[in-house]
């Protein structure tokens, strides 16, 4: 069996930032992962990295309000960033305001940010907060990519239908800067496609040769 090379396989927890001051040096390259709580973001990250417990898969959503950085050894200065899950009703107003301000600051100022991945449950795509996140990226001229995850919950034809309608809505709103694919952490469908795109954004192919 030939497994294709996975540059994320050695991904390792680096730090969790609650404030902008705690972020790593803004000199490398990073790709941020966003999504509603329970959309399947942690599972999507784990599948991407071919790891079981890199990002914590949780039954109690919305607890963590921090930016979690994963390093990508042996390459230095490249990160995957797990953004806090949003859309969770039980978060207090203060925490929500703090989180919004932090995320807006992050998107507005973070030079290292190369692209945004928004993870959506394929059965509930394009909620208001998802569109906000995509708009933050678009404002910066950053590319974004949508993972329609938990695809295993739908039939093939339903998957294709949702992909097409979400693609159309995204193109109308954001033009060509946002792409979309079907994904499943459970069956690994679409994992290699996502890996290839994130690796390209991070320029990992050439970074590994040097």
State the residues that interact with Mg ion by CB under 5 A.
41-42
Q: How far is the CB of 55 from Mg ion (least distance, A)?
A: 6
C-alpha–C-alpha distance, residues 190 and 131, integer Å: 22
177 vs 181, which CB is nearer to ligand GDP? 181
105 vs 153, which CB is nearer to ligand GDP? 153
150 binds, among ligand GDP, Mg ion, none (CB under 5 to 8 A by kind): ligand GDP
C-alpha–C-alpha distance, residues 87 and 11, integer Å: 27
The first and second tokens of residue 45, run together, are 């990250």
Q: How far is the CB of 72 from ligand GDP (least distance, A)?
A: 20
Q: How far is the CB of 38 from ligand GDP (least distance, A)?
A: 4
Residues that bind ligand GDP (CB under 6 A): 35, 37-43, 57-58, 61, 85, 149-150, 152-153, 184-186
Burial group, residue 84, by CB count within 10 angstroms (0-12, 13-18, 19+) = buried
Q: How far is the CB of 133 from ligand GDP (least distance, A)?
A: 13
- Listing from the earlier edge strand, what are the strands of the sheet with 67-71? 12-17, 67-71, 78-82, 29-35, 113-121, 144-149, 178-182
41 vs 110, which CB is nearer to Mg ion? 41
Q: How far is the CB of 185 from Mg ion (least distance, A)?
A: 11
Residue pair 204/72 in contact (Cβ under 8 Å)? The answer is yes
61 binds, among Mg ion, ligand GDP, none (CB under 5 to 8 A by kind): ligand GDP
1 vs 53, which CB is nearer to Mg ion? 53
42 vs 177, which CB is nearer to Mg ion? 42
Return the H-helix or E-strand segment holding 16: strand 12-17
C-alpha–C-alpha distance, residues 53 and 50, integer Å: 9
* Residue 170: partners with Cβ closer than 8 Å, 6 or more residues away: 126, 134, 146, 178, 180
């Amino acid at each position: 069996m030939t497994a294709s090379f996975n540059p994320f396989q050695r991904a390792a927890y680096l730090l969790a930032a609650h404030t902008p001051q705690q972020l790593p040096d803004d000199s490398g390259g990073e790709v941020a992962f966003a999504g509603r709580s329970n959309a399947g973001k942690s599972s999507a990250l784990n599948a991407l990295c071919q790891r079981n417990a890199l990002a914590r898969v949780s039954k109690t959503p919305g607890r963590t309000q921090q930016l979690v950085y994963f390093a990508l050894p042996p390459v230095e200065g490249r990160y995957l960033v797990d953004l806090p899950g949003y859309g969770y009703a039980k978060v207090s107003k203060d925490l929500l305001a703090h989180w919004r301000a932090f995320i807006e600051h992050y998107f507005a100022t973070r030079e290292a940010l190369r692209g945004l991945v928004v993870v959506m449950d394929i059965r509930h795509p394009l909620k208001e907060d998802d569109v906000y996140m995509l708009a933050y990226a678009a404002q910066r001229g950053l590319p974004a990519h949508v993972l329609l995850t938990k695809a295993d919950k739908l039939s093939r034809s339903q998957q294709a239908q949702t992909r097409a309608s979400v693609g159309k809505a995204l193109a109308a709103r954001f033009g060509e800067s946002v792409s979309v694919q079907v994904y499943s952490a459970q069956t690994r469908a679409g994992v290699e496609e996502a890996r290839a795109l994130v690796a390209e954004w991070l320029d990992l192919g050439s970074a590994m040769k040097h």
